[in-house]
């Protein structure tokens, strides 16, 4: 009997913390902060005529922040840092959406050090760039990115933007309150189109994760959809979050309208981009952007009543991987009849201008019946890769997979083998060839197989 009693106490000591952890309430904090730099900082995303200095370089030093690109001249709407912070007990999970063309692993590592005191681990940080082509440049030390479409790194701009991003995290942490998670998905109609004239070749699946507080008010959440932030075009020289930002603002306005009482802070929506490498908005320009965002918000609201509860459990896993040795493939960048005379293995090496390794994440939220599986991609993937990765996840028992692109790193474009051999713009901009995408999918498969599915 004494032995049985001792075993009972031992089992209780081992498992009671686990049982308690299942009962810990979920807290959610959301926030958004305007991080727009001074007017004059060049915009990142387009590197051709309209954005590039007419004299190739700012030889006369007329632009304080520019070398290769023209300065910004105003602001259409704010560049924002948007945050959704989840907390249970001592565990936190940070989601962010930044109105930037891309973010790098160097930035993630730097930010992780600065917010460590919030109790947020690096592996629990998931940041997706909205990929607006009218956000600020000068934020990355990667020379290849600076030369192509972002301009040279400016420390004062970087530190200012980083400071405001940290402020948004601090604000979300201060606003933590008891809340529940809800999810739904729908097929977006009339929003996207393939920019390579492949009619209907895009992923219209729209994934939603929202938080509602105990007063029945929507705090905000995440929208996961694949689309380029290029509504305004290369001639625009004013700051804008572009189409992804317009979607955020439209949905935020609708949620604010349906909330029962006035919130101290309006709902915050994070646009988490998908595989937008070959996908753009169906209509461009300011008017097209406004109309499409309202059309999207209509579809969002039509499906809001389908939102179902999500068990507040999560796991995060990360893997570092060798993506490849960066290079430019000459044949992939050649058009017309000339292509057949160029050997497919002629590569121009880029050495250390771009990294050779990156990190991907697998985030799973929910229980056995309501599991959400989020898979990150360190750059711009084409639609075909999204379908392939999602299908892989489904075969491995994940019924609700998300493809989160431009997440936690930016390594340019990724295509599959067939697309790479077509020699499109995306293929030319695939600095790791089609094998880079294969390595990422293979590593995701390993993450999925290592992660055990929840039993309840």
Q: Mind giving me the DSSP string for 163-191?
A: HHHHHHHHHHHHT-EEEEEEEEEEE--SS
Cα-Cα-Cα-Cα dihedral of 182, 124, 271, 176, to 10°?
60
Dihedral-angle region of residue 412 (phi above 0 means left; psi in -120 to 50 means alpha; beta otherwise): left
**In 366-452, beta strands by DSSP E:** 372-376, 380-381, 401-404, 413-414
pLDDT for residue 150: 94
Average pLDDT of the chain to the nearest whole number: 92
Alpha helices in 211-312 (DSSP H): 242-258, 285-303
Residues 6+ positions from 426 with CB-CB distance below 8 Å: 196, 277, 278, 380, 382, 413, 415, 419
pLDDT, tens digit, 9 for 90 and up, residues 269-285: 999 999 999 999 999 99
pLDDT for residue 345: 77
pLDDT, tens digit, 9 for 90 and up, residues 66-82: 999 999 999 999 999 99
Residue 406 CA to chain centroid, in angstroms? 5
pLDDT for residue 392: 98
Residues 6+ positions from 148 with CB-CB distance below 8 Å: 47
pLDDT, tens digit, 9 for 90 and up, residues 209-259: 999 999 999 999 999 999 999 999 999 999 999 999 999 999 999 999 999
Give the residue extent of every domain in the chain: 28-310, 314-456
Residue pLDDT tens, the chain, 456 long: 445 444 444 444 444 444 444 579 999 999 999 999 999 999 999 988 889 987 666 655 678 999 999 999 999 999 999 999 999 999 999 999 999 999 999 999 999 999 999 999 999 999 999 999 999 999 999 999 999 999 999 999 999 999 999 999 999 999 999 999 999 999 999 999 999 889 999 999 999 999 999 999 999 999 999 999 999 999 999 999 999 999 999 999 999 999 977 655 689 999 999 999 999 999 999 999 999 999 999 999 999 999 999 999 999 999 999 999 999 998 888 877 676 667 677 889 999 999 999 999 999 999 999 999 999 999 999 999 999 999 999 999 999 999 999 999 999 999 999 999 988 899 999 999 999 999 999 999 999 999 988 876
3-class DSSP state of 372: strand
pLDDT for residue 203: 97
pLDDT for residue 21: 45
Structure tokens at 25: 């309430």
Q: Which residue in the block uniquely carries the two structure tokens 């771009």?
A: 354
pTM of the model: 0.93
Residues 6+ positions from 102 with CB-CB distance below 8 Å: 44, 129, 131, 140, 145, 379, 406, 410
pLDDT for residue 58: 60
pLDDT for residue 18: 44
């Amino acid at each position: 009997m004494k032995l049985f009693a001792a075993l009972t106490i031992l089992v209780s000591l081992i498992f009671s913390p686990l049982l308690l952890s299942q009962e810990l309430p979920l807290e959610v904090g959301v926030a958004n902060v305007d991080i727009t730099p001074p007017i004059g900082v060049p915009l990142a995303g387009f590197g051709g005529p309209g954005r590039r200095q007419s004299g190739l370089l700012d030889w006369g030093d007329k632009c304080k922040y520019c070398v290769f690109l023209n300065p910004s001249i105003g602001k259409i709407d704010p560049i924002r840092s948007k945050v959704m912070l989840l907390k249970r007990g001592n565990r936190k999970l940070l989601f962010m959406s930044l109105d930037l063309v891309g973010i790098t692993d160097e930035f993630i590592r730097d930010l992780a050090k600065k917010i460590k005191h919030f109790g947020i681990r690096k592996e629990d940080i998931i940041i997706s760039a909205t990929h607006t082509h009218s956000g600020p440049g000068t934020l990355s030390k990667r020379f290849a990115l600076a030369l192509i479409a972002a301009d040279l790194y400016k420390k004062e701009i970087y530190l200012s933007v980083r400071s405001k991003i940290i402020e948004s995290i601090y604000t979300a942490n201060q606003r933590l309150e008891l809340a529940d998670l809800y999810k739904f998905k729908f097929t977006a109609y009339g929003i996207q189109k393939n920019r390579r004239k492949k009619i209907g070749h895009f992923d219209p699946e729209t994934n939603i994760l929202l938080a509602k507080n105990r007063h029945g008010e929507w705090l905000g959440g995440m929208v996961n959809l694949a689309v380029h932030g290029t509504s305004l075009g290369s001639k625009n020289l004013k700051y804008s979050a572009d189409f992804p930002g317009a979607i955020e603002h439209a949905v935020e306005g609708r949620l604010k309208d349906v909330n029962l009482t006035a919130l101290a802070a309006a709902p915050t929506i994070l646009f988490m981009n998908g595989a937008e490498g070959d996908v753009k908005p169906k209509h461009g320009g300011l008017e097209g952007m406004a109309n499409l965002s309202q059309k999207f918000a209509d579809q969002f609201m039509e499906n809001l009543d389908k939102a179902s509860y999500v068990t507040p459990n999560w796991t995060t896993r990360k893997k570092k991987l060798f993506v490849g040795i960066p290079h430019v493939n000459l044949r992939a960048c050649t058009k017309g009849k000339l292509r057949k005379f160029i050997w497919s293995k002629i590569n121009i090496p880029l050495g250390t201008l771009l990294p050779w390794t990156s990190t991907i994440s697998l985030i799973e939220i929910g229980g056995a019946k309501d599991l959400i599986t989020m898979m990150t991609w360190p750059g711009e993937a084409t639609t075909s890769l999204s379908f392939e990765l999602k299908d892989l996840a489904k075969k491995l028992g994940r019924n609700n997979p998300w493809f989160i692109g431009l997440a936690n790193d930016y390594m340019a474009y990724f295509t599959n083998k067939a697309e790479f051999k077509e020699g499109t713009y995306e293929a030319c901009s695939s600095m790791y060839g089609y094998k880079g995408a294969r390595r990422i999918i293979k590593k995701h498969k390993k993450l999925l197989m290592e992660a055990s599915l929840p039993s309840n």
